[in-house]
Structure 1
Amino acid sequence: MRTVLIEGSGRALVRALAREHRAAGARVLPEWPEEGAPDGPDEVWFVPLGPQVTDPGRVLREDREHMELLLERCAGHGSRFVYVAPDPGGDGVRETEARLRERLTRAGVDLTVLRAGPVLSCDGPPAGLALLDDAVRWICSYVRERAEDHLKTWPLRVLGSPDAVYEVAWADETARRLVSAQQGDGTARVLPLPTVLSLLGKALDCRIVLTRDPADLTAIDRLLASRLGASLPTAGPSRPSAPADEERLYRHFRSPRAARPPAESVADGTPVVIVNALGQGPGYWSRLRSLLGRRRRTVLFSPRGAGLEEHLAELEDFLDAEGIGAAHLVGWCTGAKTVLAHRARRPGSVRSITLLNPAFRHPGRPAELDSPYEQRLDSVADLLARDPRRAGRVLRILAGGLFEERTEDDEHRAAERVLATPHPGLEPERRLPFADEDALLLYAAQLKEFWTHDALGPSGGTEAPMLVIAGTLDEIVTLGGIREAAGSLPGARLVELESATHYAMFERAEEVAALIEELTTTPGAPATGDREC
């Protein structure tokens, strides 16, 4: 019986090939036999991902390392090597083929190169159509969490050409052609972009409209576009084509998605210390701490005292109690001032700094850099400083004023209002500073004292890299204020998250975690002053 080993990161096609080989009478090995085992595979098939992947650099590195190991084993055993090359492939694919042919010829190993276009499967990689599917599912969930009926009233819009098509094959069809020694693309199946959008909208209970005019896009549409990147097709079919099975595509869109396994945990010696905002609890941080905790210890410090000096003393006591010397610091909102002040005192202990939606209000700053929210809280704090007995009445007023809901008749304003609305699960957390009279009085006193400090002074001599993250729909602090502050911090890199609110660490945890991981995995690397949107 012929034995086959099938490997590579193109998971959907790997599984389909295994089914086809078994149907053809072959024995499919789950892995290469242990060293010293008498039997190795007669054939080794390697299936890399196609050209449209979300992280091609990482995937190519992983594929290259894995393929190197398989090539060594094939040369020692005499197994035939079958390389399923992405089609269409770029220069990198052709160079890989040339190197493979040269190396295996020297080793006396038979090489067969087959070609396969992008494949589609319910559990396939996020390439081509699946990337569109992922992005639209994400935006639908994000919008419905905030305004359940918004997508019943307004459509989603995608910028593209009505003549554009997807050229794909189903994984099982492609595998059948490859196992029968044909090329995997055969006659391409064509899916016009308008048809795909219509079927996807029907499956997800929303309307998706194609437009050529960027001015038609709302804030929600622009957020969707940022998730899609350049993945949408732009032209008609590039080869002979046949219509795709629309009903099968609709069933694919309707089918549930298997959860992706979490990334492998890798321990790191330097912990992340999150410095919370004044008056806030731990609930905002559950998602981000879970993601960061896969790589390193992540702890949360929440200041309790009435002033910055007390907060710094509390932070130092906290770090000593936790046994933390050097750390990556993350400061949110007012926590940014505490982080910078701690850096000035103990610069050698800071490995990196992330300032998330930082609040830098102080007396010498132009008033236009203060948000309406900060201005209202300033008035409240002044009032309570003069007469603390009015706290109860202020609470009743704030209950209807700081967290009001608004509706909009204009589609563009409605989209912005939806995205600017914090996740409803955060409502109890957002009300913590206003839980009772004592909480309000402490919060007001903390803010008044905190606003007297200008944190954008000397850096304390540290060269630790610094990242500043802003949300373009933050209504607690202004984007202008964050930009001005980032510009005055030497070496700081500013990243603006499209349509993110003040609570990006919860609502956009994956993006924030990726940015922090990028910063903290290369500690000591020089920071840039680039601004990204």
Structure 2
Amino acid sequence: MSSTESPSVSAASVFPRAASVRVGEGERLRSVGLPGVTLSIRSRRPASQDLPPALYVHGLGGSSQNWSVLMAELDDVVHSEALDLPGFGDSPPPDDGNYSITGHARAVIRYLDAVGRGPVHLFGNSLGGAVTTRVAAARPDLVRTLTLVSPALPELRIQRAAAPTALLGVPGVAALFTRLTKEWTAEQRVGGVMALCYGDPSRVTSEAFQDAVEELERRLQLPYFWDAMARSARGIVNAYTLGGQHGLWRQAERVLAPTLLVYGGRDQLVGFRMAARAARAFRDSRLLSLPDAGHVAMMEYPEVVATAFRELLADTGESGTDTEGDVTDVTVPGAGS
């Protein structure tokens, strides 16, 4: 049963998205209204209707479009949906203005509960990695496997390039940054983001660059754009300072789902040195190291990430092989170079 047919969301508003939002070949967009939040959902038609569901969660400043290429790579093994977190992509802000890691995780859980798609193969990048870690720890019944690409888990010594993102969460800094950069073009902004997020920005095609420029131009017109960015950045910083059972590393230890960890050697935002700690924290983990990748390996090396995910499926209940407790470190030297 599709989510638009599900009785659990029949009372909520489900309607097509605006034509101004880019929809890739084979994709569709819809909006799902839930109590306190409305989420834009990007989906693909699966090769078979009996394939297990997958849900993808993007990072800070990103959108469901960040997963389009990887989703297409996995058409034959999962039924893919990617959501725009509240205040990002084509999703409006949450009614309560809560952009914390917990608030975003609550939105993901609310969606999965409403449409009844769980348990899903859950994917998260950066901020989305922290969010999905919290989801997997709090609601193991909703998660089959967990794939984390450069997850934003607490670091004692953050990357120097990540400092501006942390500062964005300081009250007033977003407004100051907006004034200081008001003359910047969308092309300049996108170029800066890609230089920060990609291990090799030259891998970005001219078409992909232009698509990103058009999407940014659209989102800069939204009155809540910078507020969503600043509050979500503050949410990451606050999550880094939490201890006890609510700490993200403690929650990582509670994750029961088989976990694929993907780290890039050229990541300027999440330290590559954190890969080993993550592999120890998640009890059933596999580590994919990509020396040439940056912060968004699923966009830079989608074929390699897709292959690693297929291997994760083969290692789990799909093949009947019990690998609980194992840590497999797969390093791909010069992937795609």
For the aligned pair, the TM-score class normalised by the smaller chain equals 0.5 to 0.7
> Aligned runs of 1:174-189 on 2, under 5 Å?
none
What is the alpha-carbon distance in structure 2 between the residues aligned to residue 396 and residue 486 of structure 1?
A: 42
What is the alpha-carbon distance in structure 1 between the residues aligned to residue 50 and residue 161 of structure 2?
A: 39
Partner of 2:55: 273
TM-score, normalised with respect to structure 1: 0.43
Shift of 1:328: 1.1
Partner of 2:327: 529
For 1:250-283, what per-residue CA distance to the aligned partner results, in whole angstroms no more than 9, with x for missing partners?
A: xxxxxxxxxxxxxx94665421111222331222
Contact 1:420-1:501 within 8 A present in 2 as well = no
Secondary structure, aligned partner of 1:501: coil
> Aligned runs of 1:57-456 on 2, under 5 Å?
265=47, 268-304=50-86, 305=94, 306-361=99-154, 365-367=155-157, 370-382=158-170, 385-386=171-172, 389-396=175-182, 403-404=191-192, 419=200, 421=202, 423-424=204-205, 425-426=208-209, 428-429=211-212, 432=216, 435=220, 438-453=224-239, 454-456=247-249
What is the alpha-carbon distance in structure 2 between the residues aligned to residue 468 and residue 301 of structure 1?
A: 20
Query: For residue 166 of structure 2, what is the amino acid of its counterpart?
Result: D
Where structure 1 has 5 or more consecutive residues not aligned to the other structure, the ranges are 1-263, 408-416
Shift of 1:512: 1.0
Larger Rg computed on CA atoms? 1
> Using a 3 Å threshold, how does the CA distance of structure 1 residues 401 and 294 change in structure 2: closer, same or farther?
closer
What is the alpha-carbon distance in structure 2 between the residues aligned to residue 465 and residue 299 of structure 1?
A: 20
What is the alpha-carbon distance in structure 2 between the residues aligned to residue 388 and residue 375 of structure 1?
A: 14
Partner of 1:118: none
Contact 1:468-1:486 within 8 A present in 2 as well = yes
Q: Which moved more, 1:469-478 or 1:418-427?
A: 418-427
RMSD of the TM alignment (CA)? Answer: 3.3
For 1:34-54, what per-residue CA distance to the aligned partner results, in whole angstroms no more than 9, with x for missing partners?
A: xxxxxxxxxxxxxxxxxxxxx
Shift of 1:322: 3.0
Q: State the aligned residue count.
A: 254
Shift of 1:457: 0.7
Contact 1:420-1:474 within 8 A present in 2 as well = no
> Using a 3 Å threshold, how does the CA distance of structure 1 residues 265 and 428 change in structure 2: closer, same or farther?
closer
What is the alpha-carbon distance in structure 1 between the residues aligned to residue 174 and residue 54 of structure 2?
A: 38
What is the alpha-carbon distance in structure 1 between the residues aligned to residue 65 and residue 209 of structure 2?
A: 8
Contact 1:345-1:460 within 8 A present in 2 as well = no
Structure number with the bigger relative contact order (C-alpha 8 A, sep ≥ 6) is 2
What is the alpha-carbon distance in structure 2 between the residues aligned to residue 274 and residue 297 of structure 1?
A: 11
> Using a 3 Å threshold, how does the CA distance of structure 1 residues 451 and 389 change in structure 2: closer, same or farther?
closer
Contact 1:280-1:429 within 8 A present in 2 as well = no
What is the alpha-carbon distance in structure 1 between the residues aligned to residue 160 and residue 173 of structure 2?
A: 23
More helix by share: 1
For 1:177-199, what per-residue CA distance to the aligned partner results, in whole angstroms no more than 9, with x for missing partners?
A: xxxxxxxxxxxxxxxxxxxxxxx
> Using a 3 Å threshold, how does the CA distance of structure 1 residues 290 and 388 change in structure 2: closer, same or farther?
closer
What is the alpha-carbon distance in structure 1 between the residues aligned to residue 69 and residue 212 of structure 2?
A: 14
Secondary structure, aligned partner of 2:248: coil
**1:515 corresponds to which of 305, 308, 320:** 308
> Using a 3 Å threshold, how does the CA distance of structure 1 residues 269 and 388 change in structure 2: closer, same or farther?
closer
TM-score, normalised with respect to structure 2: 0.65
Query: For residue 531 of structure 1, what is the amino acid of its counterpart?
Result: D
Where structure 2 has 5 or more consecutive residues not aligned to the other structure, the ranges are 1-45, 87-93, 240-246, 332-337
